Homo-oligomer: A and B are copies of this chain.
Amino acid sequence: MMRLAPVQSGRQPAVTRLAALAALDRVSLARLEVAVESAHLLKPREELLSEGSAVGEPQLIVSGWAARVRVLSDGRRQFLSFLLPGDLVGLCSQPRPLAVSTVAALTPLSVCIAPTADPGSPLADAYAASRALDEAYLLAQITRLGRLNAQERIGDLLLELYERLSLAGLAAHGAFELPMTQETLADALGLTPVHTNRMLQQARREGDLRLNSGRATLGDVAALTRKLGRTATRVSAADPG
């Protein structure tokens, strides 16, 4: 169903994720581990990238959560996507790129400069796959907001996060850390915090999921997946997903 990350790899989750996206060679792995060593820390709400300003070197999320966010002039806020360990930020092939969205830390965040990938190298393939996944998650977010109701949005988003965190070895048995408030979740789901709260309670009553103290637990991943008609995200025929 989904390629599970080896539990006892001793690798950083970020490296685990990229290794799951392409068969990395020793050189790539070594470069990644060196890069991860020199990660620096950001506090929650600090920005990695600011909409409209220049994009610098591509960065790799080592640990913690970040999000792409857009804020309207009247204060309405929409999270565009979440960025998890192993995700890349600011990867683009233009000469003088400008950020199309602000990226901000949701939790204490550890990021490093993403090691350069030689064209054709396994690392380049991993980056390309990561980029394709980013796009797929944006499309999923569009469908969620456009055509799913509140209950469905919650289930679908949590399944997506479970799938993504599993790639990095950060989720198992339907449970994972979800370090955000209901208000943040609401801004990702295009709902109000009040309604999000009510729908979360309903989902808990129905046994679909539970959220407490920063942790999400899905009752039955397979059943929920079926109920929502979800299919695992696949972007490459070389990768079994």
CB of A101 within 8 Å of the partner chain: yes
A142-B145 contact in complex given A95-B238, A135-B100, A235-B97, C-beta closer than 8 Å: yes
B138 touches A135 (CB 8 A): yes
Q: Does A50 contact B (CB under 8 A)?
A: no
Binary per-residue interface labels of chain A (137-167) against chain B in the complex, 1 for a CB within 8 Å, 0 otherwise? 0110111011100000000000000000000
A24 at the interface (CB under 8 A from B): no
Q: Are A235 and B147 in contact (CB under 8 A)?
A: no
A76 to B153: give the CA distance in the assembly, Å. Answer: 14
Q: Given A147-B76, A190-B145, A229-B72, A98–B138 Cβ distance below 8 Å? A: no
- The DSSP consensus for interface residues of chain A is mixed
Contact residues in B for A139 (Cβ distance below 8 Å):
68, 70, 80, 100-101, 138
Task: Name the residue on B nearest A153 (C-beta).
Answer: B146
Q: Is A181 an interface residue (CB 8 A)?
A: no
A147 to B68, CA, bound (A): 15
Chain B nearest CB from A191 CB (Å) reads 9
Q: Are A236 and B97 in contact (CB under 8 A)?
A: yes
Complex CA distance for A234 and B68, rounded to whole angstroms:
17
The answer, yes or no, to whether A204 is at the interface (CB within 8 Å) is: no
Q: Which residues of B contact A124 (CB under 8 A)?
A: 93
- Residue tally, chain A, CB below 8 Å to B: 46
Question: Taking the complex as formed, is A132 at the interface, i.e. its CB lies under 8 A from any CB of chain B?
Answer: yes
User: Residue A194 at the B interface, CB < 8 A?
Assistant: no
Whether the Cβ atoms of B235 and A132 lie closer than 8 Å is no
Q: Kindly state whether residue A78 has any CB partner on chain B within 8 Å.
A: yes
Contacts of A96 in B (CB 8 A): 236-238
**Shortest Cβ gap from A71 to chain B (Å):** 10
The winner among A94, A98, A145, A235 for most chain B CB atoms within 10 A is A94
Known: A92-B131, A93-B128, A138-B138. 20 other contacts (CB 8 A): A52-B234, A68-B139, A73-B229, A74-B229, A78-B147, A80-B139, A80-B143, A92-B128, A93-B124, A97-B237, A98-B236, A100-B233, A101-B139, A119-B119, A135-B135, A135-B138, A138-B139, A141-B142, A145-B145, A146-B189
Q: List 14 A-B contacts (CB under 8 A).
A: A70-B143, A76-B147, A80-B143, A92-B132, A93-B131, A94-B128, A95-B236, A97-B237, A98-B235, A98-B236, A135-B138, A138-B142, A142-B145, A145-B146
